[in-house]
Structures are given as structure tokens and as C-alpha cells.
A and B are shown apart, each in its own frame.
Chain A
């Protein structure tokens, strides 16, 4: 069977959920297919078919229209049309989703179809099939995310990184005829705990700290003994092609701490247990401490060049977008703090208490490498007009410093260098009061970045009391919330995908998906609205949604769905940016559908649906 219908089966087995079927089940399924040719501009089901069937587009294109004749989705090669299965499989409609009534062909189509009964029977045997068809988008997304989280724990970094990412090269070698003392001197000078023992140029063994302790000192051997006597022969090695996990397992199994790395049989480096253990620690904390030690802006600049590497590394380790965002934000914070310290050394102590504020993605701890800077300064009301000169110097020094570290100047001039955003507490309070009391849409659009504000350095109580007053007002002002919502709903997620295009509302096609504006930003906006309407002081998006869950703003289950959608979009973004950075390209947010697997497209569509549902219910509430 599998040879005879090879063309059809290779087509079907690439389509989720059928990709999960074992070969014999796939072969049985393929035998149940019916092939129809449907002319352009005809409706499904094809003439002569009255029983409920699942359709698979083999060639051509279909459009699904709602009752109101609005485009819901377009289907191309490899897409499934479940519309006529819904009743017989008891499929749930997505929340508030209007069932499409009309499915028509946009081109001449070759369609495969399956009796729904076949799907039902298959589903009884293979849960992957019944799960796929019986869940709505929110449930499917939840399953995906819980799987992602499990995988992250299992694969936890080491599996995905090669030994070549860790090993030290070149290795220090010493000739077997040298004395133990000579070896100890060598090791001390180089700061190594291990040397490769050579016979001329051939590596014949290894000598470690432990060998000297146990086989020389403890045994009372003279330190003039040649190392050949105490070295470990037949050393265990690992080929450079292995992953870090293999290296760790080998060392654990053999109870050794040093593992020479070989390339085509030649020792080319060394990897130690400490290297691997430090792997997880090779993160924001390490980075922050180096930043703290930097003496000049030039040194900071050098360190900042490593930031894209860190982002790639985190992405490779399978870190969630949340983790990456927090790490990168923490590092930006460290850069900012160090620059402020340098400025204070240069210009002397601040004349009055103040705080350096970060706005936007940095405040939300959702920053990715080298985004633009959004900042401001809040100053104690006791400041005198002439004090501003000091703060201006500070602002110029820090903003210029950040810019030379790769954090480009804010195109909207939301920076402490702008006198408007370098003000005493009472002025900040007045700004916020004004935005909330007279929320003109334009003012809100420009200022919404300030509703995500966090103290980076200085007196945190200055912002805290402004925020407290602000939240008291926003929870009571339905007009403000309505305007904010209206602004936020301007960004709508696309409908889904059609062939290798992004399908927008009204059927427009685009070549790329703007992950930021069409997916992540709408969720960030919703979370901000929930927080401001419920008086939640958190600014991190996930934190805001979690705290708003179960309030009047959003139900617990919708909140979970939204977080799933947010995390899924975040993973794609981090992965996409890491790929770009590795190719030496700028880390943008424009994803080509060609980069996405069929399953990823499905999950994205599910995420879009979750966002759209919550946007719609937001719209209905004002």
C-alpha cells in the first residue's frame, strides 16, 4: 500500500494532525479518501456529495465567508476545511466565532475528502486526531504551550548546545618527560586545573590537580618524578560534534571533571564540569557584574556589542520570551545604572533627590537586544530652576552613553534629554491627570508609553506616589478607559495565512507578518487597559494579565488564553530574531510565512483568534 499511493501519502502525512499517525493508520486513512475536482466559483460540498465530510485542499483555493458575507479565512494547498464536520464530530465553535456559512472555490480545485465517520473512528484510536478536531483555538494553544514548557525543562539548554560552544582551546600541553613540579608551576601560571600530556606532539594522557594530590603528594612521591608516572592514560575524550549534554553525561558516568575535546581524533580543546555548570549562569547576572566593573563609556560599548550574542544564546537554550525580555531588560538597566554612576562621578552629587525612569518595553521588562531608548527623569518638588542644569547634564551623558551602547535615540523624543520629560514630581502628576481627565486620542497615542513606567535608579517613592494617584483616577474614569481601548483596538491581528501570505482582514495579502504590531502589541495594549481599569500597579504584561484575571476586566480562563497567545508569539519572535542575528542581520519583527511550519501557522491562527475574541469583547464593553 505505501508504495502504491506514495504521492498522496507524502502529501497527507505532512498535514497536521495526520502527521502524527503511524504508517499503517495513514495507509488506511488514505484508502478512505475521495478525490473531487471542483470548478472555480462553486460551493462546497461538491455536487453529488451529501454526507458530512472533511475536505483537504490538494490544489486550488477556497474562501470561507460569514453570514454577513465577510471573509473569515482562505484555504490553500494542504489546508483542512472542517466546516462540514462540525456537527457530526460535535466540534466546538470558537468563542463568539460566527460559523462560516458559505465555502466557495476561488480557483479550479482538486479536493480530497474523508467521511467524518472515518475521522471519528481514527480519533478513538489516536487521541492526537480527536484532540486536534475537538479543541477550539484556545484549548489547542494551551496544549501547545504546556508542551513547550515541558520541552524547555527536558531539553534545558545543554541538549541544544554543542560542546564547541563551551570548550577551551587551545589546550595547554606538557611533555611527559617533565617533572610533576614543572607541571604544577605550569598549571599555576596558566590558571588551569588540567594539562594534556604529550609525547612529542602526540597526546598520550592527562594530568589534573587531583592527580597531583592523590598520586603524588598523598603517596609521598618526589616532585621531580616525571609526569608520565602519574598521568591518566587512555583518557576519555569527546568528539567536538557532540552536544554539551553528552559531555556532562560522560563526565558524570566516569566521575571526571575534565574532558579533552577531539576533532578527527586530535585533541583540540578541553571542557570542564564547571564550564557546563556555569552555562545557566552565563546570563544576565554575569553580564551585569562585568558592566558594573566597566570604567569608561568605551568599555560599556564593548560589552554591549555582546548583547546580540546573549540574545542568540538565550534563544538557543530554549528560554521563553519572558525570560529573554527580563534578561535583556536587566542588562539595559545595568548599563543605565552604570552610566548614571559615571555621570555622578563627573558632575557631583544630585542637588535634590530624583529617579531615572524607563518607559515602554524596558519598563515592562520585555526588551530585546538594542531596541530604542524611552526614558525620563522625575525630580523632587524641592528642586530650584537652576538645578535643572545638573539634570540636563545627567540626561545628556546617560542618553548619549546608551546611544553609543547601541540603544538608539527614541525617534519620538521620549527621552530625559527632552525638558518635557525631565520634570519635578508635581508636573509629572499634572501630565497624568491631564491624560486621564481629557483623553484626546492623539495625546493618548503619544503618551501611552508613559503608562508603562518603572524606576531604574534613584528614589522610587517619587514615581510610586504619582502612580498611586494615577491608578486611583483611572479606575474611576470610564471615559479614559474607553478612549484607551479605542486606540488599542486600532491594531488588529490578521485572519491567518493563505499559501505563503499573511491574510489580513478584508482579504488583503501581505508577504510578512509583523509580529510586533499584529500580535504582541495588541496584547500589551489589552494588558495595560486591564491594569489601569483595575488599579493594578504592575507594568509587565504577563504580570498585569495575571493580576487582572478574574476581575471585571477579564475572566480567569480568558487571561490564561491570552498569556498562552502572548508566550507563543514571544517564542516565535525570539526565535526569528536569533536567526536574523546569527546571519548578521538586524533583529526585526517581520516574519515571512515561509519561515513557519504548518503547525506553527495553525498555532498562530489560534493565537490571533484569542486576541480577536478579547478585542471584540473589549469593544462590546464600551
Chain B
């Protein structure tokens, strides 16, 4: 943990943001990088967070495609549905049947989607000055970086809160063996007695993740104010 924090301080996302801002030409990525990220000492109840979820054709950000993006704003511990966004992306690849089953996104729907650049632009606009919240960060981080690389030639660092990692840290601390399935979004929601969630669309999953974070934070002792640096990835 201590090393983690030190790393943030030396090569923190703010330093990286400023560095990259100088290289990136004007455009959506430049606009995104122009807004400072929240400070690591920001308390949770003041923190602007964007809960994000992607649906993809697979796990490999280079070979697989982004299918849809959903996000919602979690601002000062309130999830505001009027900030919610959901968009299916128009890609050229034919969808494999197995994926259609999981995501329920058909080729037809995909045809009516928006091109990748439009969707990523929307996401970057919403994400500026905020921390990204996801469940299992690898997918969203890699796919978003890959998309930025393809669209703008650069892959920025994003400050991320990962509800899976928060849960994992808690479980690890207890030093008791656990089943990895306990870390699934739906299992963790059950643990906090949140309503049943049958997600698999990007926006519902983003909202479900935001609710889970609120429950995780509420379970902590109220007097110990949780700061961004306590939970950032």
C-alpha cells in the first residue's frame, strides 16, 4: 500500500496528465486532458465519479472490439440518472453468436449504432475532471486506452476506482480463503443486500457498480472519512 501511494506521488496521474497535455494536439483528448483530476485528498462524499461499463467482443483490447458504452455520474454520493448515457457502437466486424447471447446486442442494433469516435468523444467529455469507476478495471482501461490510441495516437492514464479491487482488498485482509466468484458484481451486490441485478447491458452495469460503491463506502466506519487515495487503484 505504502509503495503504491509513493508511486502515485512520483508518477501520479496528474503529472502524467500535464505531460501528455503538452504533446496532444487540440481535439477531444486535448480537451479531456485540460481539466485537472480531483486531488488524492478529496473525500469520497465530494468526489465527482463517472461509473463506466463497456461491452466488448472479448478480452483482448487489440483484437476485440468495443460494442457498447454506458456511464452515469455519481456526484457527492448521488447517482443522477439524468446524466446516464448508453450507446451501441457501429463496427464492421460481424458479431459471433456466442457474444450476441451474452450482450444481447444484435448486428441489426449495431448497424444503428454510432461510430467509435463519436462515442469515445462523449465519454471523454463526461470523464474530464472525474475519477472513473468500474468493476474489474482491466477491460475498461485497456479498451479505452486502445481506442484513444487508434483515434488520437495517444493512450492517457485514467484515475480509476475499482469496486472489485476494493472488495478483494477487504477479503485479502481477512486472510481467509474465498472463491473468486465472490468478487463478481452480482455476488457483491447480494452481499450488501442490493436489489438483484441481471445486467449485461453497459448502462445497467454502470449503475449497479455505482450502487455497489455507495454500499461499500457506507459499510465503513462513518468517522473515518474515506479519501480518494484510500480507494484509488
Task: Write out, one digit per residue, whether chain A residues 1-28 have a CB within 8 A of any chain B CB (1) or not (0).
Answer: 0011111100100000000000000000
CB pair A34 B201 closer than 8 Å: no
Task: Write out, one digit per residue, whether chain B residues 50-90 have a CB within 8 A of any chain A CB (1) or not (0).
Answer: 00000000000000000000100000111111101010000
B194 within 8 A of A: yes
B203 within 8 A of A: yes
A5 to B211, CA, bound (A): 14
Interface residue stretch chosen among A35-43, A268-276, A503-511, A559-567:
A35-43
A59 within 8 A of B: yes
CB pair B78 A48 closer than 8 Å: yes
Interface residue stretch chosen among B17-25, B158-166, B171-179, B214-222:
B214-222
Chain A residues within an 8 Å CB radius of B193: 59, 108
> How many chain A residues have a CB neighbour from B under 8 Å?
25
Beyond A30-B81, A37-B218, is A4–B203 a contact (Cβ under 8 Å)? Answer: yes
- Of the candidates A32, A37, A47, the one whose C-beta lies within 8 Å of that of B211 is A37
B116 within 8 A of A: no
> How many chain B residues have a CB neighbour from A under 8 Å?
28
Chain B residues within an 8 Å CB radius of A59: 193-195
Interface set, chain B 188-227, CB cutoff 8 A to A: 192-195, 197-198, 201, 203-204, 207, 210-211, 214-215, 217-218, 222
B133 to chain A, nearest CB (A): 14
A33 to B78, CA, bound (A): 10
A58 within 8 A of B: yes
Chain A residues within an 8 Å CB radius of B82: 31-32
A85 to B69, CA, bound (A): 35
Chain B residues within an 8 Å CB radius of A35: 78-79, 81, 207, 210-211, 214
B180 to chain A, nearest CB (A): 25
CB pair B214 A37 closer than 8 Å: yes
B45 within 8 A of A: yes
- Of the candidates A34, A37, A38, the one whose C-beta lies within 8 Å of that of B80 is A34
Instruction: Write the chain A residue with the least CB distance to B82.
Output: A31
Beyond A32-B81, A35-B79, A48-B45, is A4–B204 a contact (Cβ under 8 Å)? Answer: yes
A110 within 8 A of B: yes
CB pair B86 A4 closer than 8 Å: yes
A49 within 8 A of B: yes
CB pair A37 B81 closer than 8 Å: no
CB pair B77 A110 closer than 8 Å: no
Interface set, chain A 326-346, CB cutoff 8 A to B: none
CB pair A110 B204 closer than 8 Å: no
A33 to B193, CA, bound (A): 21
CB pair B76 A3 closer than 8 Å: no
Instruction: Write the chain B residue with the least CB distance to A118.
Output: B82
A49 to B82, CA, bound (A): 16
A31 to B84, CA, bound (A): 8
CB pair B70 A4 closer than 8 Å: yes
B91 to chain A, nearest CB (A): 19
A-B contact pairs, 12 of them (CB 8 A): A4-B201, A5-B81, A6-B204, A7-B197, A7-B198, A32-B81, A32-B82, A36-B77, A36-B78, A39-B222, A48-B45, A108-B215
User: Top 5 A-B pairs ranked by shortest CB distance?
Assistant: A37-B214, A35-B79, A4-B86, A4-B203, A33-B81
